[in-house]
Amino acid sequence: MNPSNTHESIRARDGSARYLYLPAAVAAIGGLLFGFDTAVINGAIVFLKRQFALTDSQTEIGASSLLLGCVFGASLAAFTSDRFGRKKSLLAAAALFTISSIGAALPRNIAEFVLARLVGGVAIGLASTLSPLYIAEISPARIRGLLVSVNQLAIVTGILLSYSVNYGLTAAGPANWRWMFSSAAVPSAFFLVTLLSVPESPRWLVQKGREAEAEQILSRIKGRVAAQTEILAIKTAVAEESGNIFDPAFRKPLVVAILIGLFSQFTGINTIIYYGSLVFLEHVPNQTASTALFANVMIGAINFVATILGMYLIDRVGRKPLMASAFAGMGASLVGVAASIYFHGPPLAVLLLVLIYVACFAIGIGTGTWVLMSEICPNRIRGRAMSIATLFLWCGTLIVTLTFLSLVRVLTAPGAFLLYAVVCIAAVVFVSLAVPETKGRSLEEIESWWRVSGADL
């Protein structure tokens, strides 16, 4: 027997990991830019506030402008991903990332800075919706949680990278914040170039009647036999659904996806991601800009390590128990943070409690939120549903970021963190009662379950 023929036969049956992991990795670069662009403000805001003499309200606007763009980007993702495809929409996001990273480094006033960050926010809104969606749509059920979690790993890698860049540029002079923002231009351009080599989502191709192209892509990933079976499953799912986003059959999974996204933000994680340096500088004794930015690096490092642990657990433990226990751990650690700040505890105690809080988020919420949001909505509306859920997530992020400093003025820092702890308790109840377990289920099986069952998966 000819060895090359044997190899082709095996690949036809089993597929090739290269055709799965390479597109997933490229799509996840969008997550890295998402993490970098959102978190770079944490260190830069200290120096930006000094240079433009910003008030607390102006500081909130400067930090939140990106998030307003995220809301617009998530809204656009619904239309662009279903009309033009996942790949072309991600290409548009990559171009906007590049423009924004350069524009945010060049402003002469806060208005120009806000405009540049708005453009970057649109890019993040697109990428945060479409990167996990694209990865979910090319992944086999048995490792889908792991691969979608790669996007979350990329996000926290971007966060850690931005914190490290910020810390390294602390002593670079009054214009150091400009270099912090411009440093994202290199990975943005790399994302744009590498996206040209990835295939379109096979599920989107089937929805557009391009079944031959979809089967060719799936054959490379899973093998010809498995590809033919999956094409039939996708066609069946598409044929059975009206595609109306307001159809009562879609209401429950859409509401669950929306609430998952909102709870992930209303528990206050981005008060640390965006304002961590200010929290340490203004509410923890004996801190300098350098020590506050170093604390950010520690937070980014624990976020990265805990995300890897979450990726390991999500397809073993399951989405539901991981998220419920994570919300509980976040609530308990927030109570500790509030008590430590109120009683003027040692800086190390505050930092350790913040690290526990971030670790709990990374293990269960950071990974679980994007995985569940990309899984639980039916095929025919997944692009729009994912966009709507992500839109609400970004609205939640915007609200938290736009109100945190004002909330601290009204309630004090301990009071604000106790409020977020109460939200964590509500999130535990919600996950326990309303969120289904999707571990090990194909996207078509999850869709079928929503139609025929009101019980737990």
Report CA torsion sign: 95, 123, 59, 161.
negative
Nearest to 155 by CA among 27, 275, 253: 27
For 265, 292, 366, 396, 405, the CA distances from 270, given in Å and listed in that order, are 7, 16, 12, 10, 12
- State the pLDDT at residue 363: 94
Domain ranges of the chain: 13-198+241-452
* Half-sphere exposure at residue 52, Cβ-oriented, CA atoms within 13 angstroms: 23
- State the pLDDT at residue 226: 80
* 62 CB neighbour count, 10 Å cutoff: 20
For 87, 95, 215, 232, 370, the CA distances from 393, given in Å and listed in that order, are 22, 23, 33, 33, 10
The answer to whether 323 and 368 have CB atoms below 8 angstroms apart is: yes
DSSP alpha helices (H): ranges in 175-318? 176-182, 185-195, 202-207, 211-222, 224-240, 248-266, 269-283, 289-314
Tens digit of pLDDT for each residue in 22-60?
888 898 899 899 889 988 888 888 888 888 888 888 888
- State the pLDDT at residue 258: 93
- State the pLDDT at residue 112: 94
- State the pLDDT at residue 452: 66
- State the pLDDT at residue 331: 97
**Among the CATH numbers 2.40.10.120, 3.40.50.1110, 1.20.1250.20, 3.30.1370.160, which is that of 13-198+241-452?**
1.20.1250.20
The answer to whether 450 and 249 have CB atoms below 8 angstroms apart is: yes
Which residues of the chain carry a pLDDT beneath 50?
1-13, 455-457
For 172, 201, 385, the CA distances from 374, given in Å and listed in that order, are 41, 13, 9
